[in-house]
Chains A and B, each alone.
Chain A
Amino acid sequence: MRVAAGVYRQYWRINILTTLEYRENFLMWFAFTIVYHGAAIAALWIVLERFPSLNGWNFRDMAFLYGLWMLAHALHNTLFSAVGDVPEHVREGEFDRILVRPLDSLFQIIATPGQVFPDELMLALAYFGVATWYSGVHIDAMFVIFVPLIVFGGALIELGIGLIVSTLSFWFVRVDALIWIVVQLEQEFTRYPLGIYSRGVRLLLTFVCPFAFMNYFPASYFLHKPDNALGFPPIAGLLTPVIGCAFVILAYVFWRFGLNRYQGVGH
C-alpha cells in the first residue's frame, strides 16, 4: 500500500508536468470538453422546448439528471481513463511490460502516466452546483452524504464496463466496435429518464451495463420521482455505491481470468 501510494503520487506529478509541457493541446481539449457538454445540454433544452415534459420529467429535472452523470463520468475520466488504453497497449505489445513489474496489473494501468488533468471534474462540479440549484433539489444530510458515494459508485460502474471490454482484447486484440457501442450506450441512454425506452433497453441498462444506476435511479430519489421504468422503490437510487463496488469486483475477476489467457501479439 505504501509503495502504491508513492507510485500514485508520482503519477500525478508526471501528469501535471506533461500537461504543462503540452499546454496548447490541453487547452484545446478543455475547449472541446466545454463544447461537448454544452451541446449535450443544449440538445436536452431543444427537446424539452417541444415536449415540456418527458415521462413526467421537465428540463429542470433533466438538467440535474445530466449533472449527476457528468460528475460520475468526469470522475471516471480523471481517475480511470487509462483503462480504455489497454487494447492499444495489447495491440502494440506494450502490455507485456505491465506483467513484469511487481505491482498489481490493474493498478499499474490506472497509474500509467499520460496527460490527465482534473479539468473536466472541475467543470462538472461547477455545473452540478448550478443544476442542483436550478432543479430545486433540497440539500439535506442525505444529499451531502450520498451524492459523493453515488458519484464514486457511478465512476466504478463505468470503470467496470471499461475493464470488461479491455479484457476482451486479450482474446480479440481489436475491440474498437465494442468500445464504440458501449460509449454510445452510456452517452445516449443516460440523458433521458429510463421510462421512455423499451423494456429490453431498460433491462439492459439496469442489469447488464448498469448505467441507469449512474444517474437515473439516484436522480429519481433526489427529485422524488416514482420509478415508472421497472417499478423499483426510491431507495434503489441509493444502491449505486454497492452496485459500483460489486460490478468492479466482478470485472476484476474477469480481468484476472483474462490475464492467464493472454497470448501477447507476435510471438
Chain B
Amino acid sequence: MAIIETVELRKVFRSIVRSPGIAGAVRALFSREYEEKVAVDSVTMTLAEGELVGYLGPNGAGKSTTIKMLTGILVPTSGAIKVAGVVPHRNRQANAANIGVVFGQRSQLYWDLPLRESFELLRSIYDVPRDRYRQNMAHFSEILGLDEFMGTPVRQLSLGERMRGDFAAALLHDPKIVYLDEPTIGLDVEAKEAIREFVGRINRERGTTVILTTHDLADVERLSKRIILIDEGTVIYDGTLARLRTEYGTHRTLVVTLAETYEEFAVEGGEIESREGNIVKLRFNQRRLSAETMIRRLLDRYSVSDIAIIEPEIESIVRRIYREGYNESAVGSPS
C-alpha cells in the first residue's frame, strides 16, 4: 500500500533580484525585479509502507525542498502529494502526528534544558501515553545509549550525543514515517554507526517508513535497497541500489596477493590500478568479462595466495551519473 505519493510535484521560489554591490542593493530598493527559481521541477514517486528509501542528489538538486513539501512546511507550486492519506500542507497538524523529522543541521531539543526535559515536553506535545513513552524511552536508551547524558543540558552535549537525542525525540510518538535530512552530517564514525544501526532497527522492527537524504553514500549502502536520484529538480533514477550497480558500475576490481614476486605482471583484459609489493589491484570491465574468466586467466599464469573482488563503489557511480546524466542506452556500452 502506498503511504507516500507525489505526482509531478513542483516548487518555484520567487525572490528579489539583487545586483552585486551597494549600488545594486540601493537599486533593488526602488525597482523590484523578481526572479523565479525552480527548486523542484517534477517529482513523481510512490513509497510503500515500511520502505527505507535513500533520496539523493547534489547540492541544490531539490532534495530539501521536496522533504519540506512532504512534511507540510512548504506549499507546492503545483502537483499533488498525499502522505498517509493526508495532504500535508492543507492539514499540517494531522500530517505532523504521522511523521517524525530529523534535520541534521538543526536540533529540536531545548538548548538550556537537560535532555530529559525536552523529551517530557515532546511527550506532552505529541500526547504520547505514559506507558508507551516509558517503553520507547527504555528502548531508545538501550540502542542509543542515552542514559549517560539524560541529565545534561543540551548545550553541553557533543554533536554525536545531541544527534542521538534528536533521533529519539523524532521517534518518541511512533510516527508512521520518518524524514531524515542529512542525519549523519559532521558525525564521527562511531556516532554514524550508532545512528545507522538505530534507523535500520526502527525500520525493520517497527515497520516505520523512512526517507533519508544524505551526502554520505555509506548511509545508503548500509541501509536502503531502493534509491531515488534527483538532479535539477527531476527524478533521474528510481530503483534498487543493486540494479544501479550492475547496470552502471561497469568495472570491478580484483585485489590479488601474489604468492611469489614477479618482475612482469599483466593479465589480458585487466588494467593495473596499483601495485604495492605483492598486492596488485586489477580493474576489469564486467560487461565484457566475467570475474570467473579473469580469475582463470590470472591463475593460468601466476601463483596467487589470495583474491578479493571489490564491487564498484556506489559513490563513484553516482558521481558519474551526475556528471554524465543517467542514460539507459549508455548502460550497455563500455566506458
A-to-B contact residues, CB < 8 Å: 3, 6-7, 10-11, 14, 17-18, 21-22, 93-94, 96-97, 99-105, 108, 113, 260-264, 267
**Inter-chain contact B106/A10, CB cutoff 8 Å:** no
**How distant is the Cα of A260 from the Cα of B113 in the complex, in angstroms?**
32
B168 at the interface (CB under 8 A from A): no
Query: In the bound complex, what is the Cα–Cα distance between A261 and B14 (angstroms)?
Result: 11
- Report whether over half of chain B's contact residues are helix, strand or loop; otherwise say mixed: mixed
**Residue pair B64, A100 in contact (C-beta under 8 Å):** no
Do A3 and B71 touch across chains, with their CB atoms under 8 A apart?
no
Query: Does chain A have a CB within 8 A of B89?
Result: yes
8 residue pairs of the A-B complex, CB under 8 angstroms, read: A6-B127, A17-B113, A18-B112, A96-B68, A99-B73, A101-B125, A104-B93, A105-B92
Report yes or no: A7 in contact with B103, Cβ–Cβ below 8 A. Answer: no
B-side contacts of A108, CB under 8 Å: 125
What is the bound-complex CA distance between A17 and B13, given in angstroms? Answer: 42
CA distance A262 to B76 in the complex (A): 11
| Contact flag A7-B64 (CB < 8 Å), given A14-B110, A113-B113 | no
Measured between alpha carbons, how far is A3 from B68 in the docked complex, in Å?
Answer: 26
Residues of A close to B97: CB separation below 8 A: 102
- Write out the residue numbers on chain A whose beta carbons fall within 8 Å of the beta carbon of B93: 102-104
CB < 8 Å neighbour of B124 from A7, A262, A264: A7
Bound complex: CA of A224 vs CA of B39, how far in Å? Answer: 62
C-alpha gap A7/B71 in the complex (Å): 22
A260 to B72 alpha-carbon distance, docked (Å): 10
B113 touches A14 (CB 8 A): yes
Inter-chain CB contacts under 8 Å: number: 76
B121 proximity list for chain A (CB < 8 A): 7, 10-11, 14, 113
A7–B13 touching, CB < 8 Å:
no
| Cβ contacts under 8 Å, B117 to chain A | 14, 17
A264 to B74 CA separation, bound complex (whole angstroms) = 8
Task: Determine the chain B residues whose CB is within 8 A of the CB of A104 once the complex forms.
Answer: 93
Residues of A within 8 A of B39 (CB): 267
Whether B108 and A21, one on each chain, are in contact in the complex, defined by CB atoms closer than 8 angstroms, is: no
Given contacts A18-B113, A94-B106, A96-B68, 20 further A-B contacts (CB under 8 A): A3-B125, A6-B127, A14-B113, A21-B112, A96-B103, A96-B106, A99-B71, A99-B72, A100-B72, A101-B125, A101-B126, A102-B125, A103-B125, A105-B92, A108-B125, A261-B75, A263-B13, A263-B74, A267-B39, A267-B65
B68–A260 CB distance below 8 A: no
> Residues of A contacting B99 with CB < 8 Å?
100
B126 to chain A, nearest CB (A): 6
Give CA–CA (A103, B68) in the complex, Å.
18
Cβ-based interface call for B307 (8 A) = no
B120: CB under 8 A from chain A? Answer: yes
Q: A96-B68, A260-B75, A267-B13 are in contact. Are A102 and B94 (CB under 8 A)?
A: yes
Task: Note all chain A residues with C-beta closer than 8 A to B126.
Answer: 101-102
Contacting pair B96 A101 (CB below 8 A): yes
A97 CA to B13 CA, complexed, in Å: 20
How many angstroms from the CA of A22 to the CA of B113 in the assembled complex?
12
| Residues of B contacting A261 in the complex (Cβ-Cβ under 8 angstroms) | 75
Distance A96 CA – B106 CA, assembled complex (angstroms): 10
Whether B106 pairs with A3 at a CB distance below 8 angstroms is no
CA A108 to CA B106, docked complex, whole Å: 18
